Amino acid sequence: MRRMPPEDVCYEAIVRRDPTFEGLFFTCVKTTGIFCRPTCKAKPALRKNLEFAPTAQAALSAGYRACKMCKPLDANAPRPEWMDELLAEVRQKPNARIADSELTKRGLDPATVRRRFKAELGMTFQAYQRSVRLGGAVRQLRKGAGEMQTALASGYESMSGFREAFARVFGDAPGRTMKNGVRPLVADWLTSPLGTMLAVASDTGLCLLEFMDRRALENELIRMRKRFGAPIVAGASTVLDQTKREMGEYFEGERKDFGVPLDLRGSEFQLKVWNALREIPYGRTESYGQMARRIGKPSAVRAIGRANGTNQVAVIVPCHRVIGADGTLTGYGGGLWRKEWLLEREGVRKEGELFVG
């Protein structure tokens, strides 16, 4: 049977109506006999009256019937169909503007769209459109297009509006920014069996891959902007496309090693630890002490742990493969339940509560 998050994590998710947990579990209400999606708008029942099922089939088999409000049997995809359609439309026509009035004409509530985008992507739908449009403008400028040509082609109605929008993100006018060589980082989202993930890439490689519900994510993005000296805009790139493809193959059990290029920025020690993490084979584990000895720093066990904690490329830089010397799981930014899922997915042998690499 497919694994799901621990029950306390599930309960916290339904209280928050957290969309990143869609598809990971279903809430079963003992008193009413119904089961719901994590984002159901109904008021959560008391904790003692709830149990959780990993799949809709498991909930049905346990005698529960589907909720008429959230309709858990109607959609297997983590995102609603209208959201995927909006995302695809913005990517295909980045310079078009879909105003709230247009959403209403399509039968969509602008407030619902705004909340859903904010909850899942960290920005409103209008902010997402602006980010994609500005990212396209930057690519045109880097190809040598003039400011006027770029502004018009990107859907801006005036040069002043274009320059103002550009300066809000980059801190300076387009001409001076391009002359200074500022290249934005590009971000996109991908779905996984463990929830929505955010990927960020530079021109040369992937620099962040994190679960969207990680509490430290916002601060990580702030540090990343400072470290690279560049803003982050929504968009597409060959690096992000390769990341999505390889991660999909990994979760399907078809890939053990990753070929996507990385652009990691950190101290000399951090980089040494992150590179050492990438040397731990699929299906194997190491303790912090073993890692410390392998990189020639046998007394740096705690420092190894701190460096692991600052790793910003989940799964591909496999900090989930580092466990306690006694085989117990230790801290993991994405949650210990995800760490356990990843290790079991990779075939790491488990004896009781201990993992044996």
**pLDDT tens for each residue of the chain, 357 residues long:** 456 788 888 999 899 888 778 778 899 999 999 999 998 989 989 999 999 998 877 787 778 888 988 888 764 445 677 888 888 888 787 777 788 999 988 888 888 788 778 766 767 888 787 777 776 666 665 655 555 555 555 555 555 656 565 555 554 445 555 555 567 888 888 888 888 888 999 989 999 999 877 777 777 888 888 888 887 777 778 999 999 999 999 999 999 999 999 999 999 999 999 999 999 999 999 999 999 999 898 888 889 989 998 999 999 999 999 988 888 888 888 888 888 889 988 988 877 667 776
Joined tokens for residue 231: 């803003």
Name residue, tokens 């346990």: 62
Cβ within 8 Å of residue 260, ≥6 positions away:
205, 206, 239, 242, 243, 246, 316
Q: What angle do CA 340, 224, 222 make, to 5 degrees?
A: 95
CA distance 177 to 322: 42
Joined tokens for residue 328: 């117990």
Q: Domain 268-356's class?
A: mainly alpha
Burial of 8 (0-12, 13-18, 19+ CB in 10 A): exposed
The yes-or-no answer on residue 207 being catalytic is no
Q: Which of 10, 40, 207, 319 is catalytic?
A: 319
CA distance 7 to 13: 10
The yes-or-no answer on residue 10 being catalytic is no
| Long-range CB pairs of 71-78, under 8 A, 24+ apart, other chains included | 72/26, 72/35, 72/36, 72/37, 76/23, 77/23, 77/191, 78/19, 78/20, 78/22, 78/23, 78/191, 78/195, 78/196
Q: Which of 36, 67, 70, 207 is catalytic?
A: 36
Cβ within 8 Å of residue 50, ≥6 positions away:
11, 27, 28, 29, 30, 44
CA distance 322 to 278: 11
CA atoms within 13 A on the CB side of 219: 4
7-66 homologous superfamily: DNA Methylphosphotriester Repair Domain (3.40.10.10)
Residue 246's H or E segment, with its range, is helix 238-251
34-36/65-66 β-pairing: parallel
CA distance 162 to 213: 33
Q: Domain 81-179's class?
A: mainly alpha
What's the whole-model pTM score?
0.66
